[in-house]
């Protein structure tokens, strides 16, 4: 179960979208999502969908992969649609049966909401599919840096993210090892109802936590001995640099989001 550890959902490809600066991608994503909330016509949503499809094409990520990412929200989408159809009032009556009526406004608002949710998920998953967690971390750090003045410890947060990313596989491996050791001693992780099963996880979680704290202690010592003293005066091996294509991408998406908001 713990083979093929894949952190986040990054898929490595050699595409234009992958090569864009992480900061620019984050900004574009925020911009586009904001624009998405200003659209109030089907033409607008259609245009937006075309843009998303075009970016998917450029990113060389398979369309099915994106569709699969929509599955977890399917229930939410259906629920939204049903609630709007039956409970939002206004406009002419389309269909009526005893006390249940469907009115036009309800149908339209419902479809709007559904398009909005689906497009939002598609666009944000494009960000995480084309940007590695490390680049994302660097990007977020760099975007938050100006907020340092207001007491937001950007580089420390980024350091925490990096360490978390570094230790996820290590801890997973360890969990696997502990699980096997406990199973050899007769622990049962698979049978029983939910309560029973979560109780049975205790012999896995206790050793895992103890070892995680021990690791944290060791790591802090190792970091200190390598001159770590917070984000102050730290340089970076990979300085993020905004290139021409980043500006072009940003420019296009600004234009597009203005245009699409008027539809």
Partner 1 sequence: MALIEIKGVDFTYNELETPALANINLSIEAGEFIAIIGGNGSGKSTLAKLLNVLLLPGSGKVLVDGMDTADEKYKLKIRQKVGMVFQNPDNQLVAARVEDDIAFGPENLGIPGPEIRKRVDQALELVGMAGFHDYPPHELSGGQKQRIAIAGIIAMEPDCIVLDEPTAMLDPKGRKEVMDTIHFLNKEKGITIIHITHFMEETIGADRIFVMHNGAIYKEGTPEEIFHSISDIKRLGLDVTVVVELAERLKKEGFNLPDVLTISELVDCLC
Which span (43-51, 145-153, 216-224, 248-256) binds partner 1, by CB under 8 A?
Answer: 216-224
Is there binding between residue 226 and partner 1 (CB under 8 A)? yes
Both tokens assigned to 129:
């599919």
Is there binding between residue 234 and partner 1 (CB under 8 A)? yes
Is there binding between residue 225 and partner 1 (CB under 8 A)? yes
- Distance (Å, rounded) from C-alpha 259 to C-alpha 263? 7
Is there binding between residue 237 and partner 1 (CB under 8 A)? yes
From 2, 152, 223, 258, residue interacting with partner 1 (rule: CB under 8 A): 223
Instruction: Please name the residue that has the structure tokens 């599955």.
Output: 71
Contacting partner 1 within 105-134 (CB under 8 A): 133-134
**Which is closer to partner 1, CB of 188 or CB of 218?**
218
Which span (23-31, 56-64, 73-81, 168-176) binds partner 1, by CB under 8 A?
Answer: 168-176
Which span (60-68, 82-90, 97-105, 160-168) binds partner 1, by CB under 8 A?
Answer: 160-168
Is there binding between residue 6 and partner 1 (CB under 8 A)? no
Is there binding between residue 224 and partner 1 (CB under 8 A)? yes
Interface residue list for partner 1 (CB under 8 A):
5, 133-134, 162-163, 165-166, 169-170, 173, 214-215, 218-219, 221-229, 233-239
């Amino acid at each position: 179960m713990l083979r093929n550890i894949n952190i986040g959902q990054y898929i490595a490809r050699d595409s234009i979208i992958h090569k864009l600066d992480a900061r620019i991608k984050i900004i574009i994503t925020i911009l586009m999502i904001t624009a998405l909330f200003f659209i109030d016509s089907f033409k607008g949503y259609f245009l937006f969908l075309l843009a998303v499809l075009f970016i998917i094409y450029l990113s060389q990520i398979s369309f099915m992969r994106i569709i699969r990412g929509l599955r977890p929200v399917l229930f939410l989408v259906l629920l939204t649609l049903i609630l709007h159809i039956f409970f939002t009032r206004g406009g002419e009556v389309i269909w009526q049966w005893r006390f249940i009526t469907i009115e036009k406004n309800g149908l339209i608002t419902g479809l709007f909401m559904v398009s909005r949710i689906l497009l939002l998920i598609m666009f944000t998953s494009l960000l995480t599919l084309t940007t590695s967690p490390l680049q994302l971390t660097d990007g977020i750090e760099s975007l938050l840096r100006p907020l340092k003045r207001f007491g937001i410890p950007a580089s420390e947060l980024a350091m925490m993210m990096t360490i978390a990313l570094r230790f996820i596989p290590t801890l997973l491996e360890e969990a696997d090892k502990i699980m096997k050791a406990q199973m050899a001693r007769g622990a049962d992780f698979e049978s029983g109802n939910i309560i029973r099963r979560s109780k049975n996880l205790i012999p896995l979680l206790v050793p895992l936590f103890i070892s995680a704290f021990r690791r944290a202690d060791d790591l802090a010592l190792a970091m200190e001995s390598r001159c770590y003293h917070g984000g102050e005066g730290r340089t970076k091996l990979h300085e993020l640099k905004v290139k021409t294509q980043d500006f072009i991408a940003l420019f296009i998406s600004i234009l597009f989001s203005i245009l699409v908001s008027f539809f």
